Amino acid sequence: MAVDRYETLARSCHAEIPKIKGSRFIADAIPVGSSEAADRQLGVIRKTYHDATHHCFAYRLGLTGDPYRSSDDGEPSGSAGAPILRQIESSGLSDVLVVVTRYFGGTKLGTGGLIRAYGDAAEAVLNSGRRLIRQLYGAFEVSFDYDDTAPVMRLLDRFEARIISSNYGDGTILEIEVPLSTVDAFAAAFVEELSGRGSARQT
């Protein structure tokens, strides 16, 4: 069966690791649903810490974690964005932006030191957040006669369908959602349950 759910953060969270040779690493993790939302939230962080040296970040989106993006924001290539992204991937989270803000403390840390610092900050903030499951759904419009209400309701319950809207006239029309992985099975079961009566049209 196809996967139709993934984990994300319930709300934004914040963490800061101990200073490393005078440098501060402040991490913010924010649930986002699109690259545009990630860009907007990055802008907010940049304004909040407007006097910081770097705002390095990564995000991944959706069921498969693709699209994704990362940025070193002026740090040596691969020393900041990539370790942040690896922490997001290892956490199993998606639809999340992690920004690690650095205030330079006057001592260079080297590429290895930066990789550890940015990775540790990202790990800390991701571990501090409460998670939630995001379920993906497929939408249907189902129509049926009043006499078929009972079997249709049993079918909806079996497939854990959500009724979005209902319209009652000569017959019944429901806008429903079923878990994405059960779309084909639901359509086939509807036809079988009602012996070809009514209709279930994916929208």
* Per-residue pLDDT of the chain in tens (203 residues, 90 and over written 9): 457 899 999 999 999 999 999 999 999 999 999 999 999 999 999 999 999 999 999 999 998 888 899 999 999 999 999 999 999 999 999 999 999 999 999 999 999 999 999 999 999 999 999 999 999 999 999 999 999 999 999 999 999 999 999 999 889 999 999 999 999 999 999 999 999 999 999 99
Which residue in this structure is represented by tokens 């779309």? 183
Phi, psi of 33 (to 5 degrees): -110, 0
Is the CB of residue 141 less than 8 Å from the CB of residue 201? yes
Q: In a 3-state reduction of DSSP, which class is residue 170?
A: coil
Check if the beta carbon of residue 179 is closer than 8 Å to that of residue 160.
yes
What residue ranges define each of the domains in the chain, with the CATH number in brackets?
5-134 (3.30.230.30), 136-202 (3.30.70.240)
Cβ pair 85, 56 in contact under 8 A = no
